[in-house]
Amino acid sequence: MKSRRSYIKVKYDGKDITGDITAYIKSFSYTDNLDKGDTISLSLLGDKWIKEWVILKGDKLEVDIYVINWKNEGDNRILKCGIFSIDDLTFSGVPDTIKISAISIDINKGIKNVKKDKIWHNISLKRIAQDIANDASMELFFDCDDVLIYKQIEQIKESDLQLLSRICKKNGVSLKVSFDKIIIFQEKEYEKKDPVIHLDKSNLINYDLQCEDIDRYDSCEVKFYDPILGELLKGKYEAPESEFYGVKTGKIMYEYVDTSVTGTTKEEKESYLVGRAKNILRNKNKNETKIKVSDVGDPSYLAGNTVKITGFGIYNDLYLITSVTHTVDSGYKCNLGMRKKVNF
């Protein structure tokens, strides 16, 4: 069998510079996150990067990871990491080394760094996201089944990204921003997918499994004053008993709805509030059981994929990849962060 190998190809502001920098590459890592921007880190040896070839913040990097004859002869694949904007540069020695850090958000567009003051009236989350996407010349991918209409949203000394992140977190939906796209989605839909990977404890380089109830809540109660019915409505959802604890935490979340409520009768509206309470509680409790593993690198390890985990006894189950770091230096390996699927 032909020997397997891995390497990266790099474009700088649209120009392929792979041949110019390959001899200087010390290491490269790419972190693919489920619910926030992705990042890369590229370390280069030498001092030419601050002399004859000056690298600047805001410049763009596009990186692909290639594997050749990886799992077997002819297994040739490419992982397109995407386009990134350089946001941090560190030069150190000895030996002279520059570390280039970049994020998947175009820092020149201002969606992340420009603070704004604005008041939004009678507007949906989708409309807010679409307006922000339009202002930044970005595409919106919106995959949520709940239409949330806000009477008023105040954006005070917040960037557009901070505003979206705050609203999404409060309502139990996830937000990710890539270089040219805003993505808003519900993680529960990803948990329903069939696993694309099977990892057994016996085959892992190392692992770290964590199960805690510090931030676990037993229930969530959502309240809403309905001006039409003239009364305070409530919806409460109680989480199923945890598989890993003999006692409940006793903690209850209390939230007030600041959006429109679906339904016409009291029963319909309170049923809707129960659903909102379930989504909020689900998002709060989703990280109860987490596992980190290290494995041989593989381009198929992507955030949002489900993994079948075995060899861990009562912790065997489907897990959702929330982050994966692909590192290419003397070899190619992956570090995966996963959480157990939520049972409600």
Q: Confirm whether 245 is domain-assigned.
A: yes
Task: Please tell me whether residues 175 and 196 are part of one structural domain.
Answer: no
Q: Among 25-34, 141-150, 198-207, 270-279, which stretch is predicted with the lowest mean pLDDT? A: 141-150
Average pLDDT over every residue of 317-334: 93
Q: Are residues 180 and 193 in the same domain?
A: no
| 82 shares its domain with 67 | yes
- Tens of pLDDT along 51-101? 888 888 889 999 999 999 988 888 899 999 999 999 899 999 889 999 999
pLDDT in tens, 87-135: 899 999 889 999 999 999 887 787 888 888 888 888 888 899 999 999 8
Q: What is the phi/psi pair of residue 134, to 5°?
A: -65, -45
Torsion sign, CA atoms 80, 81, 82, 88: negative
Query: Do 202 and 335 share a structural domain?
Result: yes
Q: Do residues 280 and 293 both lie within one domain?
A: no
Per-residue pLDDT, averaged over 216-226, amounts to 89
Model confidence, pTM: 0.88
| Distance from C-alpha of 252 to C-alpha of 44, rounded to nearest angstrom | 51
Residue written as token pair 């109830």: 213
Q: Take residue 288 and report the two structure tokens written for it.
A: 């109860």
Q: Which residues contact 291 (CB under 8 A, 6 or more apart)?
A: 207, 208, 209, 210, 309, 312, 315, 319, 337, 338, 339, 340
Q: Are residues 266 and 307 in the same domain?
A: no
| pLDDT per position as a tens digit, 142-173 | 988 767 788 888 889 989 888 888 888 877 78
| Domain assignment present for 99 | yes
- Quickly count: other Cβ atoms within 10 Å of residue 139's Cβ: 13
Residues 8-47 as b or e (16 or more Cβ within 10 Å = b): bbbebeeeeeeeebeeebeebbbbbbbbbbbbbbbbbbbe
Q: What is the CATH number of the domain that holds 308?
A: 2.30.300.10
Q: Are residues 329 and 232 in the same domain?
A: no
If you search the block for the tokens 């880190």, which residue do you land on? 41
Rounded mean pLDDT, 191-202: 90
In a domain, 207, yes or no: yes
Together in a domain, 336 and 197 = yes
Please report the pLDDT score of residue 214 as a whole number: 63
What's the total number of domains in the chain?
A: 4
Residue range of the domain that includes 207? 189-212+288-340
Q: Are residues 279 and 297 in the same domain?
A: no
How far apart, in Å, are the Cα atoms of 270 and each of 46, 148, 254, 276, 277? Answer: 65, 16, 15, 10, 10
Q: What residue has token string 């946001």?
A: 87
Q: Are 84 and 179 in contact (CB under 8 A)?
A: yes
Which is it for the CA torsion 104, 105, 107, 112, positive or negative? Answer: negative
Domain shared by 9 and 62, yes or no: yes
